[in-house]
Structure 1
């Protein structure tokens, strides 16, 4: 059946090299009325329809949608593709215009298509969004909101609008590596017809988290009444259209984080997510290369690898065992301790609670922290006794007993008003007899630096009230340079290494790796598309 002209205009995939001719003849500075008239004339001629009828249909369409920015983009690409380029794009960079001579040629091209687009994260930490296209299947990995102080090429609203705009290739699934907000913060913006995949432990934790936040939209989404969320267990292999997804458990400051190996159209892509080698479960990192090479008998063509610590190499990194040792030494000498630590940083909270127990110090926490720790402990208890926690008393018990000693878990205290954070010091302190407070700060110190874009005034105000009585004990959730280099060597990618989740991608060139791996490193901008297969159809 012959395509109608209006459908031709709407369908980006079906636009072929005829559009280049249209681009040559249409001034890109004309107003929308002139633009649509030229497009209608072109489409009517190609489809053998009356130009006036097509023009009426296009105008009616324009009243309900805003197609012209999209169409203008197509024309600009078509025009650019016919210019002589003094500086041709690098071989990995996909040129957006394709001209198909027919559906058979189009179908053949899509069978071999392997594209990666890092929509955000090539030069910033957090706000991670990556799209992977294999064959005719399109998967997005993480849909994170930007961290405080970050300024990506597109805002949260702009990037959601771009990913899910009308007439764009449909997203077949969104996969999430872990539950931190810079990876999940835009989850509630995913259209209702797009399936969501996440670790079953992550789903449980997010439900608890949003019971606390009171986010009704997320609560309804996570209740999963319509079954659009597909929980998996690390180690499973899933099939989404043309893509197989191998899932791997990896250690991170978020419990049960995941790496994904995407396989399709004759290629493999490993997305690292966030990972580290300093946690209690860090041995998982050494297992992954063996699973890929020996169990699945796969090679990795492209390694997408996080690089948070590339710009933080001067920071003194502690393992979780170091956290436990330093907390032990501190609690021997101090008996009234407040702890600022993310309520989802299970490893560090476990270390602090176990040390408090060893020093015979009672532990107090808010109902939310107590519930989160119980959730973590119940899940981990199926695998190991490492996370068995001592009894934790509620804040109400602290108020009633007025103890002379104890450890009080306060959570992260981020995003508090300055006045509120200031008063917390006295609000909790007044419940301690002979108040002699000390603080263990177990979070990133950038939040306390007034010169850093991520500075949190409320949190810094609270910490500063303790003066010199602060002990900084923090284990990062991210891989240091030595770990990044070892992981690259162990994975041994064959084609490209693409850093993301980093402020300094070029810093990967300084890692202690062989030259062949440095030569594989490419540094796209946000929104660039990497053509992994290297195949494109191009007509001059």
Structure 2
């Protein structure tokens, strides 16, 4: 088998990986670079330009640094990903009036299938993106495991996942957190406990700044709302995502204490709001309730109007995202805006990526002969595994 790292080595994000045999060519993820406003599409013949020359593209999850170039994939190349992940991606893109690609090939965890002479086994894992997968590839008695992005701090059992993993020849693994000094991975349950302790005796407004597609975090703060006797407020964008995720995900259609508010008037948003009937709520209604409101930095105008209905003074804003986003001007201005309203900012976040213990446990379980670090700025960390050969070249045959 042949492995070529087209992009994503010695950097975080932008994964594009080729795995091939003499008769089959597969791509793992098609990510854009982090913070790219205009995507840089690599000149990969047969994938993004020329005539299609790949059998399939397998998408581990819906974050932009793994799926961002999906619209650039040539026609006639099959695309696979988790069905729930695809629905979240499609709903998000359509809400934002972005183009989407229609696909009908969906992963089922641990349900194997063939692409050419390569056996594929997707394995559901925990990440800050819903319905994320590791991907096992097996051909001619040689096995590769691509981790995508994963963690051990979410609501799915990491040790249950480890039991389902086989020994492999090659491990292509992320190492996002390996360049972060003194990194400690709190669990989602830790966040829930800390948030409850922070606000349980506080009847002032509570706000949460988090990505609308981080389903685990939505579940965490919904549980906080229940334990502190508050309604849980989602804007029409988040509500569209939680509604399509469905099942046990807190959404306004199925959960009585989840309510929907509208921040950006438009015909489309009004139609979405109307579909929730008695679950919709306006500013005057919000002002009468104890609540946790999910917000974004683009909501300043709406929150200014809400502050005329209810004082924010003494309130809490949970910042539940990567701290690096605070360097963004819109984000820092939003934080200042809320603090000027008398709202205290409390940092409460855990990464979507594996810490050193999770990566170590994964390596001990899979016992790879070769490790190819990806999605990391600290590949040298892996050199402590003396029984493995660390591959730094972007092409490898075995």
* TM-score normalized with structure 1 length: 0.64
Deviation of the 1:508 alpha carbon: 2.5
Q: Where do residues 149-298 of structure 1 align in structure 2 (5 Å cutoff)?
A: 156-159=40-43, 163-166=47-50, 170-215=53-98, 217-218=99-100, 221-222=101-102, 224=103, 229-281=104-156, 283=157, 285-293=158-166
Indicate which of 1, 14, 28 corresponds to 1:141.
Answer: 28
Indicate which of 361, 379, 387 corresponds to 1:516.
Answer: 387
Question: Which residue of structure 1 aligns with residue 338 of structure 2?
Answer: 466
Indicate which of 349, 360, 366 corresponds to 1:491.
Answer: 366
Question: Which residue of structure 2 aligns with residue 403 of structure 1?
Answer: 288
From the superposition, tell whether residues 521 and 373 of structure 1 become closer, same or farther in structure 2 (CA, over 3 Å).
Answer: same
Question: 1:238 and 1:431 mapped to 2: Cα distance?
Answer: 56
1:123 aligns with 2:10: yes
Q: Is the 8 A contact 1:141 1:174 kept in 2?
A: yes
Question: 1:164 and 1:368 mapped to 2: Cα distance?
Answer: 31
Question: Which residue of structure 1 aligns with residue 275 of structure 2?
Answer: none
1:476 aligns with 2:351: yes
1:358 aligns with 2:227: yes
Question: Which residue of structure 1 aligns with residue 316 of structure 2?
Answer: 438
Deviation of the 1:136 alpha carbon: 1.3
From the superposition, tell whether residues 398 and 423 of structure 1 become closer, same or farther in structure 2 (CA, over 3 Å).
Answer: same
Question: Which residue of structure 1 aligns with residue 216 of structure 2?
Answer: 347
Q: Where do residues 14-25 of structure 1 align in structure 2 (5 Å cutoff)?
A: none
Question: 2:217 and 2:49 mapped to 1: Cα distance?
Answer: 41
What is the DSSP-based 3-state SS (H/G/I as helix, E as strand, rest coil) of the residue aligned with 1:378? coil
Deviation of the 1:410 alpha carbon: 1.3
Question: 1:288 and 1:356 mapped to 2: Cα distance?
Answer: 29
Q: Is the 8 A contact 1:353 1:390 kept in 2?
A: no
Question: Which residue of structure 1 aligns with residue 276 of structure 2?
Answer: none
1:507 aligns with 2:381: yes
What is the DSSP-based 3-state SS (H/G/I as helix, E as strand, rest coil) of the residue aligned with 2:338? coil
Q: Deviations over 1:139-165 (max 9, x none)?
A: 0010011111799xxx72234568444
1:368 aligns with 2:234: no
Q: Is the 8 A contact 2:43 2:49 kept in 1?
A: no
Question: Which residue of structure 2 aligns with residue 300 of structure 1?
Answer: 168
Question: Which residue of structure 2 aligns with residue 27 of structure 1?
Answer: none
Give ranges in structure 1 of 5+ residues lacking alignment. Answer: 1-113, 294-298, 382-387, 449-454, 533-540
Q: Deviations over 1:384-442 (max 9, x none)?
A: xxxx855211225241322363211114x4xx5xxxx6545524433424654320010
Deviation of the 1:327 alpha carbon: 0.8
Structure with greater strand percent: 2
Question: Which residue of structure 2 aligns with residue 108 of structure 1?
Answer: none
Question: 1:508 and 1:425 mapped to 2: Cα distance?
Answer: 47
From the superposition, tell whether residues 531 and 431 of structure 1 become closer, same or farther in structure 2 (CA, over 3 Å).
Answer: farther
Question: 2:90 and 2:47 mapped to 1: Cα distance?
Answer: 25
What is the DSSP-based 3-state SS (H/G/I as helix, E as strand, rest coil) of the residue aligned with 1:465? helix
Question: 2:47 and 2:377 mapped to 1: Cα distance?
Answer: 23
Q: Is the 8 A contact 1:124 1:150 kept in 2?
A: no
What is the DSSP-based 3-state SS (H/G/I as helix, E as strand, rest coil) of the residue aligned with 1:198? strand
Question: 1:190 and 1:424 mapped to 2: Cα distance?
Answer: 38
What is the DSSP-based 3-state SS (H/G/I as helix, E as strand, rest coil) of the residue aligned with 2:221? helix
Query: What RMSD, in angstroms, separates the aligned Cα atoms of the two structures?
Result: 2.5
1:447 aligns with 2:331: no
From the superposition, tell whether residues 434 and 269 of structure 1 become closer, same or farther in structure 2 (CA, over 3 Å).
Answer: closer
Question: 1:408 and 1:380 mapped to 2: Cα distance?
Answer: 16
Deviation of the 1:118 alpha carbon: 1.0
Question: 1:174 and 1:476 mapped to 2: Cα distance?
Answer: 27
Q: Is the 8 A contact 1:404 1:432 kept in 2?
A: no
Question: 2:50 and 2:76 mapped to 1: Cα distance?
Answer: 13
Question: 1:302 and 1:314 mapped to 2: Cα distance?
Answer: 28
Structure with greater helix percent: 1
Give ranges in structure 2 of 5+ residues lacking alignment. Answer: 263-280
Question: 1:372 and 1:316 mapped to 2: Cα distance?
Answer: 29
